[in-house]
Structure 1
Amino acid sequence: MEIGTGDRFLRPLIEYGRDPALLEATVRAARGRSELVAALPEEETRRHVRALVDGVLAALEDGEPGEEALAAAERLGSDRARQGVPVAAFLDGFQAGRTHLVRTLVAAGRRLGVPDAALLDGVTRIDEITAALVHRMVHAHRVTELEMARTAREARVQMLRRLLHGEPVPVLAPLDPAGAYHCVVSDVSDPEAAARLETGLTAAGPGLCGLVDGRFTALVARLPDPAPPGPLLVAAPPARPAEVAPMYRLGRRALLAGAGAGLTGMRELADLALLTVTAAEPELGGLLAAALLPGLDPDEPFHVELAETALAYLDHGGRIEPAAAALHVHGNTVKYRIRRLRELTGRPLPDPAAGAAVSRTANWWWALHHWLARTTS
């Protein structure tokens, strides 16, 4: 359908519909309405919202949803079923996003002087389009649920979910109630990517994998060696199946902290202990940054280099050459930057290699990490 004078509602729609700020606000609305949707990785919600918004816009121009929009709706319904999100929960999120989108577009239309009759016609068309999309989503969700219910695999994944949530459940094959398993968590929510991770993790020994709370999670007897490259995976120490729930909760917290620090690949949970704890207390990190780094200006690129160098220096035990190699600079550059940092802050950087107090070194590490995270964001 062409955009003409009788369809003035489409003008603000096309103008605002692909605005990145509108997309992000719609994502927040969807996640704020449904706890289960909010438990999914934010990028997963953003991916589906972007596809559905594009489908609605295309349908408004063409008169009805095209195959691409309908296919996106089917993928959303099927993915949510595999992620264990009930149909009512993901529809709550979808409707919240739709409501926010309509309200924003109506407000935009009124600012541009679009008559109420044209606005009403546009809203009615959006309702017709979203009804068609919802029908496809619900149908795909139910078909996928029925397919999974017929398989023994889904029963095993349900056991995995209950174990990780701390619910009482008989421990059946392929797990051994007396065995010990590493709980591995990730932010991977795409079923195909999850299947590839499962192949790599179970190659080293028996295990059980599945999507739990929308993310790929596994209990494996042995970790792969060498660790696979790719997305961030947090591996907890081995525990019996009945005792993995606390490891799962800690792993989720460490995963969030590690993702915020830009980490990738497989990481031991214990190695992320400091990062996990400090990420949970941003106010304390801010206080330390203000106290230890008063001379650093976040708008000055050279000051960012000084903080990055200092953090690498602490991460490498106060050794110049390893820090220089990690930063791809000369050792003298590291020495110069550490000296300049002392001049700007009025405080010497602690030297872990010289036996500096653990608490003092940790405070500096925390302050630098917080300052860099706030600055680069």
Structure 2
Amino acid sequence: MKAGAGERFLRLLIEHTGDPVVVEATVRAARSRSEMVAALPEEETRRHTRALMAGVLDAVRGEGPGEDVLAAAERLGSDRARQGVPVAAFLDGFQAARAHLVRTLIAEGRRTGVPDAVLLDGVTRIDEITTALVHRMVHAHRIAELEMARTVREGRVQMLRQLLHGESVPVLAPLAPSGAYHCVVSDVSDPAVAARLEPELLAAGPGLCGLVDGRLAALVARLPEPPRACPLLVAAPPMPPAAIAPMYALGRRALRAGAAAGLTGLRELADLALLTATEGEPELGGLLAAALPGGLDPDDPFHVELAETALAYLDHGGRIEPTAAALHVHGNTVKYRIRRIQEITGRPLLDPSAGAAVSRAAHWWWALRRWLALARS
């Protein structure tokens, strides 16, 4: 823009950016375009409008927007983020204000005889400046959003940690003090894997996820459909937040037992009760392993095969065909192996005619699991 022409446009800009009537009309334009901006106090919009109009004027006078102007743009973006105004909504208001100011300048310039070429150069310069300001506003808005999200999330995860550790803490959103939540525990320590699992855990209802004691844990109002091909997750029955800490401790024990057994997927804590209890008493399990399958030789592969078949037989309720399907062998093979292990040990695996049949079967199951663990070690 030539010096003389630039001075004409600058005078036009000075007159209108300092005109209270133009400022108020620009404020109204911004508020009319964005409902969320309009919901803010009018003085809030006016404050930022004045600062940015003054900044545009200074930038046109100089080589471009200075640090004060850019700082004003950053404050606008940051303030709108903290006020809960999305970036699209506040940009709608900003662009409406810019458009109104440009239209006013063009109309007044033409009225006073400013050449169109001068007006075009001036408007182009304003667009260059406002583009730079928009970049700063959007960047500041995003930074503020990230800071707030991190602060909110950190506060929620800290509440989750305190609840799971049994500390007395106010129960805040997204949890409800009167609600009941499943405590879900895992051994997932990789933040990237945890981030992929969180949406699946929260898909069925409100809840809260986070890394507690270095592992992904969650409180969820409803259990989701079991995630596909996921690591072992142990879910306790629903409890109020104040009573969740014992479920967390028990769930961690069940998780260790389930992991040692090679389990994966979402499992309910009650389904792992026997496994958890037996894993917690290795010495007692060792006594049973020495007493019941005492005739088996852990160094004999055939005897290990017999023990594996017997354990599968117990896991399938003493039914031949399901056991054979699980082991991928013929039903007669299962019958033969069951007969052989009973001959070698001198004890029946299942004896409904005897008293305490359930505890006898449980003892055999415990003994075989422990015996196999020792044989494989």
Distance 1:190 1:279, change over 3 A: same
**CA distance in 2 between partners of 1:222 and 1:192 (Å):** 23
Name the counterpart of 1:191: 191
**Which residue does 2:173 correspond to in 1?**
173
Alpha-carbon spacing, 1:186–1:226, altered in 2? closer, same or farther (3 Å): closer
- Given residue 252 of structure 2, which amino acid in structure 1 is its aligned partner? R
1:376 CA drift (Å) = 1.7
Offset of residue 298 of structure 1: 1.1
**Residue equivalent to 1:311:** 311
Using a 3 Å threshold, how does the CA distance of structure 1 residues 353 and 215 change in structure 2: closer, same or farther?
Answer: farther
Distance 2:368 2:258 in 1: 16
Structure number with larger C-alpha Rg: 2
SS in 1 for 2:267: strand
| Contact 1:228 1:266 (C-alpha < 8 Å) held by counterparts | no
User: What CA RMSD, in Å, does the superposition of the two structures yield over aligned residues?
Assistant: 2.0
Query: Given the two structures, how large is their TM-score scaled by the length of structure 1?
Result: 0.59
Answering whether residue 239 of structure 2 is matched by residue 252 of structure 1, we say no
Question: Residues 34-81 of structure 1, C-alpha deviation per residue, up to 9 Å, x if partnerless?
Answer: xxxxxxxxxxxxxxxxxxxxxxxxxxxxxxxxxxxxxxxxxxxxxxxx
Distance 1:183 1:353 in 2: 41
8 Å CA contact 1:318, 1:352 repeated in 2:
no
> What one-letter code is carried by the residue in structure 2 that aligns with 1:263?
L
1:279 is matched with 279
> In the alignment, does 2:371 pair up with 1:371?
yes
- Against the structure 1 CA distance between its residues 295 and 175, is the aligned structure 2 distance closer, same or farther, given a 3 Å change threshold? same
Q: How many pairs are equivalent?
A: 232
Compute the displacement of 1:147 (Å).
6.6
Q: 1:260 to 1:251 in 2, by over 3 A?
A: same
Paired letter, 1:261:
A
Whether the 8 Å CA contact 2:185–2:235 is kept in 1: the answer is yes
- Give, as a single letter, the amino acid of the residue that structure 2 aligns with 1:375: A
1:28 — aligned with what? none
Using the size of structure 2 for normalisation, the TM-score is 0.59
Give the match's secondary structure for 1:234: strand
Conserved? CA contact 2:163–2:242, under 8 Å: yes
Provide closer, same or farther for how the CA distance between residues 178 and 348 of structure 1 changes in structure 2, counting only shifts above 3 A.
same
Instruction: Tell me the residue number matched to 1:360.
Output: 360
2:304 and 2:310 map into 1 onto residues whose CA distance is 10
Identity score, percent: 81
Are the equivalent residues in 1 in contact too, given 2:234–2:254 (CA < 8 A)?
yes
1:120 — aligned with what? Answer: none
CA distance in 2, matches of 1:224, 1:354: 42
**Secondary structure of 1:151's aligned partner:** helix
- Equivalent residues of 1:352, 1:361 under 8 A apart: no
Instruction: For CA contacts below 8 A with separation 6 or more, give which structure has more relative contact order.
Output: 1
Going from structure 1 to structure 2, the CA distance change for 1:336 and 1:356 (only over 3 Å counts) comes to farther
In structure 1, the residue corresponding to 2:175 is in which secondary structure? coil
* One-letter amino acid of the counterpart of residue 240, structure 1: P
What letter corresponds to residue 241 of structure 1 in structure 2? P
Contact 1:181 1:220 in 2 (8 A): yes
| Aligned-partner Cα distance in 2 for 1:352–1:225 | 37
Q: Identify unmatched segments of 5+ residues in structure 2.
A: 1-145
Do structure 1's residue 265 and structure 2's residue 265 form an aligned pair?
A: yes
* 1:292 partner amino acid: L
| Alpha carbons 1:229, 1:266 under 8 Å: kept | no
Aligned-partner SS, 1:218? strand
Given the superposition, is the C-alpha separation of residues 351 and 267 from structure 1 closer, same or farther in structure 2, using an over 3 Å criterion? Answer: farther
Flag structure 1 segments of 5+ consecutive residues without an equivalent. Answer: 1-145
CA contact (8 A) 1:149 1:155 kept: no
Query: Deviation per CA, 1:183-210, whole angstroms, max 9, x where unpaired?
Result: 0000000000001110111111111000
Instruction: Answer whether contact 1:296 1:345 (CA < 8 A) is retained.
Output: yes
Letter in 2 for 1:297: D
How far residue 221 of structure 1 moved from its aligned partner, in angstroms, is 0.9
- Aligned-pair distance for 1:167? 0.2
Matched, 1:298 2:298: yes
**In the alignment, is the contact (CA less than 8 A) between 1:292 and 1:364 conserved in 2?**
yes
